[in-house]
Amino acid sequence: MLRKQILILVFTFFSAFAFAQSTEPSLLNLNSKGVILDGYDPVAFFTDNKPVLGDAQFQTNYQGAIYYFANKEHLDAFMANPEKYKPQFGAYCAYAVSLGRTAPIDVNTFSIVDGRLLLQHNQRAVNGWNKDVKGNLDLADKYWPKVVANKGKQITTDDEKKFLNNVNTDGLILEGYDVVSYFTGDKPVMGNKDFEARYQGATYWFSTAENANKFKDNPEKFAPQFGGFCGYAVSLGKLRPVNPLIYQLYKGKLILQHTQEAYDIFNKDLDKNVMKAESNWPKIIKKKAGKFKGYDAPAMSPENKMIS
C-alpha cells in the first residue's frame, strides 16, 4: 500500500513538473515576479466575461509563465486544458503584433475570438483591431513567430515594404527628433523612446505623450515629405541623408535638407523644386522601396559643384 502511494506521489510530481516545463519558443508579457496577465485569472475571461484578479494561493506555471486563478475550480480547468485558456501572443497586445511588434496590455480591452483570448493595449488599439478583426488576427498569427525571433522589437511587415524611409538600422526616422515639435515649437527637440509611434515603416520618437497622440491622430499632417530624405536630392532623382536641423515648412509640409547649401539651392526656385521632387518621388519609391541599400552619390549644384 505504501509503495502504491509513493508511486502515485511520484507520478503526480513528474506530471506537474512536465506541465510546468512544457515550453514552446515564445515571448511572454510577465511582471517582475514572472506572473502573466498582471495576475488576472485567464479562465474568468471565459466564464465570467470580465477580468477577475487571481489569488496567489491558486497558481501554476505553464510554458514559463505563472498564472493566478480566482479559485481552485478555475485552476483545475486551466490545468486540464491550458491551451484553451492561455492568452494569445504571450499576453501582449494583439493589434501591436498584427503591426509587427509588442506592446503592453490593459486587461479591460479583452475579447474572445474563435475561442482565443486576445488583449489590447488601449482603446486606440481596440479601434484599430476592430476595423478588421479577422484580417488583423491573420496578420498577428503570421507575424508572431518573427516578432518572437526579434525579441519583441519591430519587424518590417509586408505592408511596410512598399514604403521608403530614411531610417537607421532600428527603423528610427529623423535621428529621433520629435516630428511634431517642428510644427509646434521654435525649433525641433529630441524625442524619447518611451513615446513612440510607427507609421508607414518608420518609427517616430516624441518628446511628450501629447505629441505622440497628436501624431497618431493625424500622421499625414506631421510625417516628413519624401520619406525624410533630402528634398533637394529628391528633386534631382537621388536619395541623400539629412541634417534634422536644416528644414522648412512648405504649405504645412515638412521638408528636410542635407546641408545648408542644398537648402539654399532648393529655395532659389522653391515651387519648381518642390514640384520636381513630388514628380520624382513616386518613381523612386517604385524603384527602391524594400530594396534601399544606401544613399546615392552626392547631388550636384546647377554649377556642377558637388554638394556634400
Q: 124-135: per-residue pLDDT in tens?
A: 999 999 999 999
pLDDT at 19: 55
Q: Is residue 4 part of a domain?
A: no
113 pLDDT band, cuts 50/70/90, is very high
Percent of the chain, pLDDT > 90?
84
> How far is CA 271 from each of CA 235, 261, 293, rounded to the nearest angstrom?
11, 17, 30
pLDDT at 293: 79
pLDDT at 152 over 70: yes
What cell numbers appear for 269 in the block? 526656385
CA distance 68 to 57: 8
53 pLDDT band, cuts 50/70/90, is very high
Helical spans, DSSP H, in the chain: 2-21, 42-47, 72-80, 82-85, 94-98, 123-130, 133-149, 181-184, 209-217, 219-222, 231-235, 260-266, 270-288
Q: Is residue 9 part of a domain?
A: no
CA distance 300 to 27: 49
CA distance 49 to 163: 41
Q: Are residues 97 and 67 in the same domain?
A: no
Q: 170-206: per-residue pLDDT in tens?
A: 899 999 999 999 999 899 999 999 999 999 999 999 9
304 pLDDT band, cuts 50/70/90, is low
Q: Are residues 132 and 179 in the same domain?
A: no
pLDDT at 7 over 80: no
**231 or 14, higher pLDDT:** 231
24 pLDDT band, cuts 50/70/90, is low
Q: Is residue 42 part of a domain?
A: yes
What residue numbers bound the domain in which 245 lies? 225-308
CA distance 131 to 223: 23
Q: Is residue 8 part of a domain?
A: no
Choosing from 86, 103, 124, the residue where a domain stops is 86
Q: 223-253: per-residue pLDDT in tens?
A: 999 999 999 999 999 999 999 999 999 999 9
Q: What is the mean pLDDT of the chain?
A: 91
**90 or 25, higher pLDDT:** 90
Choosing from 223, 250, 267, the residue where a domain stops is 223
Residue 303's SS3 state is: coil
Q: Is residue 5 part of a domain?
A: no
Q: How many CB atoms lie within 10 A of CB 219?
A: 16
Q: Are residues 298 and 235 in the same domain?
A: yes
CB distance 262 to 233 below 8 Å = yes
Domain count for the chain: 4
pLDDT at 307 over 90: no
pLDDT at 10 over 50: no
35 pLDDT band, cuts 50/70/90, is very high
CA distance 267 to 28: 52
Choosing from 86, 115, 147, the residue where a domain stops is 86
Q: Are residues 217 and 248 in the same domain?
A: no
pLDDT (mean) for 89-97: 98
CA distance 165 to 167: 6
13 pLDDT band, cuts 50/70/90, is very low
Q: Is residue 236 part of a domain?
A: yes
What cell numbers appear for 107 in the block? 486587461
Q: Which one, of 295, 301, 226, lies nearest residue 264 by Cα?
A: 301
CA distance 192 to 179: 12
Q: Is residue 1 part of a domain?
A: no
Q: Are residues 179 and 141 in the same domain?
A: no
Going by DSSP bridges, is the β-strand pair 253-256/247-250 parallel, antiparallel, or unpaired?
antiparallel
Q: Is residue 6 part of a domain?
A: no
Residue 40's SS3 state is: strand
Find the range with the poorest average confidence among 6-15, 273-282, 293-302: 6-15
CA distance 139 to 143: 6
53 φ, ψ to 5°?
-65, 135
Q: Which one, of 44, 62, 66, lies nearest residue 112 by Cα?
A: 44
pLDDT at 256: 98
